Chain A
Amino acid sequence: SYVLTQPPSVSVAPGETPTITCGGNNIGSKSVHWYQQKPGQAPVLVIYYDSDRPSGIPGRFSGSNSGNTATLTISRVEVGDEADYYCQVWESGGDHPVFGGGTKVTVL
Chain B
Amino acid sequence: QVQLQESGPGLVKPSQTLSLTCSVSGGSISSSTYFWSWIRQPAGKGLEWIGRIYTSGSTNYSPSLKSRVTISVDTSKNHFSLKLTSVTAADTAVYYCARCFGGSTASFDYWGQGTLVTVSS
CB within 8 Å of B: which residues of A?
1, 30-31, 33, 35, 41-45, 48-49, 54, 86, 88-90, 93-102
Contact B49 A49 (CB under 8 A): no
Question: Does B74 interact with chain A (Cβ within 8 Å)?
Answer: no
Contact A96 B107 (CB under 8 A): no
Known contacts being A95-B60, A96-B60, A96-B62, is A45 close to B107, with CB within 8 Å? Answer: yes
- For this complex, 16 residue pairs linking A to B, each with C-beta atoms less than 8 Å apart, are A1-B63, A30-B105, A31-B105, A35-B47, A42-B112, A48-B107, A86-B46, A89-B105, A94-B103, A96-B49, A96-B61, A96-B62, A97-B49, A97-B106, A99-B47, A101-B46
Question: Does B76 interact with chain A (Cβ within 8 Å)?
Answer: no
Expressed in whole angstroms, the Cα–Cα distance for A20 and B49 within the complex equals 22
| Minimal Cβ-Cβ distance residue in B for A54 | B109
Expressed in whole angstroms, the Cα–Cα distance for A67 and B91 within the complex equals 36
Question: Does B31 interact with chain A (Cβ within 8 Å)?
Answer: no
| Chain B residues in 8 Å Cβ range of A96 | 49, 60-63
Residue from the list B47, B48, B105 in contact with A94, Cβ < 8 A: B105
Residue from the list A31, A94, A99 in contact with B49, Cβ < 8 A: A99
Contact A35 B108 (CB under 8 A): yes
Expressed in whole angstroms, the Cα–Cα distance for A43 and B109 within the complex equals 9
Known contacts being A42-B96, A96-B62, A96-B63, is A102 close to B46, with CB within 8 Å? Answer: yes
Write the nearest CB–CB distance from B49 to chain A, whole angstroms: 5
| Minimal Cβ-Cβ distance residue in B for A94 | B104
| Chain B residues in 8 Å Cβ range of A94 | 103-105
